Amino acid sequence: MKKLFTLLLLLSSLHVFSQEKKLTYKEYSYTEFFQLIENEKDTLFKLKDAIIKYNKETDQRFRGRFSFEGDSLFNRSEKIVIDKRIELDNVQFLANMYNGADAGYNDGSLRYIHFKKDVILKEVNSLNISNCIFSGEFDLDILNCEKESLDTFKSDYVMIRYSTFNEFSIFKNCFQNLGNQGNVLISNNVFSSEANNTTFYLGLYNTSTAQIRKNTINSKGIVSMFFEKQGNRFDINNNNITSSQIDFSANKIDAGVNINGNQFSSLVNLNIDEIKSKDKIEWEQFKNKILSFSSYYEFTQGEANKMMWQIDTLKRKQLKTRYVDSVRFYKADTYANEISIKGMFYNYYKSNYNTETANEVYIELKDFETKRLEALYKENSTFKGFFTWKINQFLKVFSAYGTEPARAVIFSMWVILLFAFIYLLFPNSWDSHGKKRLMHRFEFFQKYLRRKEGMHTIYLEENKQEISSYENFKTNLENSKTELPSFFISWSKPLYNASMFSSKLTAKLLQNTDILKGKWQDLSPKQKRWKNIQIGFLLTLGLFYDLFIKALNALMLSINTFTTLGFGEIPIKGLPRYLAIIQGFIGWFMLTIFSVSLISQLLN
């Protein structure tokens, strides 16, 4: 009897197991499904182990377009309003997608529906939502990929588009031995919440494809996106996320990662195990917005003794401010984690020969290092710490940490011009003849105003000795034709012509411009006015010429000092003499850094 009872118990267990293995699904059309909701008298509608299948005869209202929003299969004013809480367990919304003439259409879509209360979906592997409004909580948990629905109906595509959500959560976990399962598309939606807890959560594990595109997320709470073991396609593009805290994690992604064009309003707690060369990740979206996910969470949980979503908003903001402003620079292990993430991006762009972006990442990395040096100096004030910190700051301004040699050249030019201006204010031996030249010019015009001859005559008289020497040189050559080789005389003539060219040209110019000859006292009042204009113009022109020569001398002196070419005796006295020595040291220092920066860029 005892053995018989045991046998009956075993058979009963096998029967129960068989029933669990082969679930019986209730089947409804989309129209029938919503009729069930409407007929429910309670404010809560529940359904378990069911299939919602498109019926061509009755469900035309639930036929949609796959590729874009703007379809016109029905009047949008026929929006369905549901004022009940919806709880579904293992309810599969099957959708047929077509090729050929009907390509782009899908039969079976939740379209233009306003859910006023919470929608809780458990183990729903297939779902197509378009142009809906979810005023309450939307929670989709896809936990068991071995359900019979997935194997039998081969429909595991979750597509959510052009809809509006308040609190949003999707969790998809398929770690069974089925390989990568499921396709998730979330695009062109608006997520907006005033709550302070986790208001947007997207956790996709072991999913075949994940495409999160062109969504707008405005939340006062936490926005969390976790991806792991994505097998086929992984796109996170052109999303606009405004939140006080953003968590982003992507690990073990077999498919090429495509993360581009996103806008983050705040720092992103980032967790990426590696970035492969085939990945496509834009740096601009993460620029100056990266925090180490693990270090940040370790700090906050250690301080609050709570999980992040259990911490109130004010405390969370205080912890974040403290972490960002001090903790990540002072704690060595935290600093190492933070710098390693930036280093990962740097290595990725460098390995792809994207030198421009790699330099941008390197600058941010070095900025972070500079803040670390500042923190260390404030903890232990030493000259070595101060010098290392300040030299990093100087390198940022001078050459962007060696990534921009051109900036070093521009900076050097400003230093040269500054010292040239200082030298311009002080006399130097290169300008010793400047005053004599000015006095000689006034003596020349004094003779011109007292004599009848023109300026060119006076000019020739003053340069008579010099011109005479040229003429004597020419006469000696002509008288020595029989005593000297012909080639020697031929080669000497160009020298004479070159020497006389300047004097002849100046005399010719003065002769043609001197339109009022005669003594000043013999000129009429009108002629005197023209004479004043003539002489005033020539004096002004000469003054500008003298200033130009003086400025040029100051500039040459500054360049010579900066480049440390050497003078022997420094051609300046007083305070500028010591400034010249300081400038020489500055030039040596800056040119050395410039050389290193240039070589670094050439090697890159």
Non-local CB neighbours of 130 within 8 Å, separated by 6+ positions = 64, 69, 109, 110, 111, 112, 159, 160, 161, 162, 163
pTM: 0.70
C-alpha to C-alpha distances, 60 to 67, 132, 166, nearest whole angstrom? 18, 17, 28
| pLDDT, tens only, 559-596 | 777 776 555 556 665 556 556 666 665 666 666 666 66
Cα(554)–Cα(549) distance, integer angstroms: 9
Q: Where are the beta strands (DSSP E) in 341-456?
A: none
pLDDT-based confidence at 168, cuts 50/70/90? Answer: very high
C-alpha to C-alpha distances, 364 to 295, 387, 601, nearest whole angstrom? 19, 20, 17
Q: What is the pLDDT of residue 15?
A: 42
Position 118 pLDDT exceeds 60: yes
DSSP-derived letter for residue 310 is G
DSSP-derived secondary structure for 187-235: ES-EEEE--SSEEEEEEEESEEEEEEES-EEEESSEEEEEEE---SEEE
Q: Is 66 left (phi over 0), alpha (psi -120 to 50) or beta?
A: alpha
| pLDDT, tens only, 247-287 | 999 888 877 889 999 999 999 999 988 888 888 999 999 99
Longest pairwise C-alpha distance within the chain: 158
Q: Is 214 left (phi over 0), alpha (psi -120 to 50) or beta?
A: left
Cα(539)–Cα(364) distance, integer angstroms: 57
| Contact between 348 and 281 (Cβ < 8 Å) | yes
| Contact between 234 and 210 (Cβ < 8 Å) | yes
Amino acid symbol at 183? N
Q: What is the pLDDT of residue 2?
A: 41
Which stretches of 245-354 are DSSP H helices? Answer: 293-304, 313-322, 328-330, 332-351
> How do 105-107 and 63-65 pair as beta strands?
antiparallel
Q: What is the pLDDT of residue 338?
A: 93
| pLDDT, tens only, 21-79 | 567 889 999 999 999 999 999 999 999 999 998 888 888 888 776 554 444 434 455 68
| Contact between 38 and 163 (Cβ < 8 Å) | no
Tokens 């994207």 sit on residue: 354
pLDDT-based confidence at 365, cuts 50/70/90? Answer: very high
Amino acid symbol at 350? K
| pLDDT, tens only, 309-320 | 677 777 888 888
Amino acid symbol at 466? E
Cα(516)–Cα(603) distance, integer angstroms: 68
| Contact between 249 and 271 (Cβ < 8 Å) | yes
The 3-state secondary structure of 225-246, one letter per residue: EEEECCCCEEEEECCEEECCEE
| pLDDT, tens only, 469-508 | 767 767 776 777 667 677 666 767 776 667 676 777 776 7
Average pLDDT over the chain, rounded to an integer: 78
Q: Where are the beta strands (DSSP E) in 13-59?
A: 26-29, 44-53
| Contact between 304 and 337 (Cβ < 8 Å) | no
Q: Which of 166, 57, 72 is nearest to 111 (CA)?
A: 72
Q: What is the pLDDT of residue 66?
A: 55
Could you tell me the two tokens for 222? 């936490």
